[in-house]
Amino acid sequence: MSASFDPQIALLKSALRYAEEYLTAIDEQPVFPGVDALRALDQFDEPLPDAASNASDTLAMLHRIGSPGTVAQVGGRYFGFVDGGALPVGVAARVLADVWDQNTAHYVMSPVAARLEQVCEGWLTDLLGLPEETAAGFVTGTTLANLSGLAAGRNELLRRRGWDVVEDGLYGAPPVPVFVGQDAHAAVRKSLALLGMGDAHTHVVPVDDQGRLDMDSFPPLNEPALVVAQAGNVNSGAFDPFDEICAHTHGAGGWVHIDGAFGLWAAAVPSLAPLVPGISDADSWAVDAHKTLNVPYDCGIVMCRDRGALESAFRASAAYFQWSDERDPMRYTPSMSKRARSVELWAILKSLGREGVVQLIEQLCAHARDFAHQLDVEGFQIHNEVVFNQVIVSCGTDEETKRTLAAIQELGECWCGGSTWHERSVIRVSVCSWSTTQEDIRRSVQAFSKARQLARTH
């Protein structure tokens, strides 16, 4: 008896209807769910049912309770955590890819996903101006992308000293010096810890007032080292001096890895070239497509100029594996089973083209500058040079800044997060969504002013 997919098709139509309702209303709902919506989530807390539930009823419940409980990240006034929106063509491609439900470990498990990975690898290498031989692996996000690039670098530096990490492990291995900037992202520290290269053995290099690694404070390298640079400081958006870092590191035979979660995309934009000199001289790079490029979550990418080093870091074997002469995606990532992330990435790159990618990134940067300018006019203090999509804002005192941020989040008109910058409490604005408009900026600035007034009167 053959399976009938009629019920699945009916459910997908219902899901599409719910999605339409959600997107139609998103501009008017609070960016962060209100008290009633959060309280309604308690309805999910129930014992596992003994009997089966009707699938249509289950989906309806998910929409009824779940949709109001979401953060409106795909709208135009979410400025928290450098979270990108989701371009429509990427969402649509994601739905199709989910229906395909491909496992992409081997080529024989999904020829289309493997081929699209290969195509995206070439397109990204070209778009970002990286060496032609660069390999790419598609992972969940920059944390795993950092881990992957750093693993390739560590293992390669040890291989050059006659040590095979995959074969011999790290017991008794020669130490590999690690250097990071003072403002290195937590994802870098986490990745180094997972690789057995913890904080106690990591050299921290001071940074300047914008968070850029200070080359005058970078000590001489007397042996090959693993050096991590940053494309896009998580607070200020600043970029490290890659040309100087690469020359300094490669002069001692070391490996440069660039954490470019949201900022690596600047390499695709001619007008932003002054931010990224020497970025292509690095050895590995990590970037999120679900941030600046607005690919749906989750889509991280590790890129490595030495294909063999990346493959070697993740080599594995088993009798049931079926290698091919085509691209086998599991060669380039820690994961074996993984979803077909290349589908929505390909759809967005194909749809936008080089000019569309440039336009998207320049739009985000322009909105960030406009946001900063309007806040400055309203009397807020801007703490950073707005070189990309990040704005750091404060009020007169730390306490007023904290109260203003709390009021912004409570009002629900827009959403931003807080941080600490040069020992000051600040509000962190990350402009990352394709759907943000000038009207969204205007409304958000008004919300900032209203929130500050509330903070001053309470």
Same domain, 209 and 106: yes
For residue 384, what are the domain limits?
A: 354-457
According to DSSP, residue 369 is labeled: H
Closest CA to 386 of 431, 423, 448: 431
Cβ distance 110 to 138 under 8 Å?
no
Same domain, 206 and 251: yes
Same domain, 255 and 174: yes
Same domain, 108 and 228: yes
Q: How far is CA 370 from the centre of its chain?
A: 23
Same domain, 233 and 339: yes
C-alpha span between 46 and 61 (Å, rounded): 13
Q: What is the CATH number of the domain that holds 156?
A: 3.40.640.10
Q: Radius of gyration of the chain from Cα atoms?
A: 23
In a domain, 145, yes or no: yes
- Provide the pLDDT for residue 2: 63
Which of 284, 316, 348 finishes a domain? 348
Same domain, 316 and 420: no
Kindly state the tokens that stand for 240: 């490290």
Same domain, 262 and 191: yes
With 0.95 as the threshold, say if the pTM is over it: yes
In a domain, 85, yes or no: no
- Provide the pLDDT for residue 1: 45
Cβ distance 139 to 334 under 8 Å?
yes
Same domain, 312 and 429: no
User: Would you tell me how many other CB atoms lie within 10 Å of the CB of residue 446?
Assistant: 14
Mean pLDDT by 10 residues, the chain (458 residues): 84 98 94 97 98 97 98 96 96 98 98 98 98 98 98 98 95 95 97 91 96 97 97 98 98 98 98 98 98 98 98 96 97 96 98 98 98 98 98 97 98 97 98 98 98 94
Number of folded domains in the chain? 3
- Provide the pLDDT for residue 355: 98
Same domain, 309 and 445: no
In a domain, 10, yes or no: yes
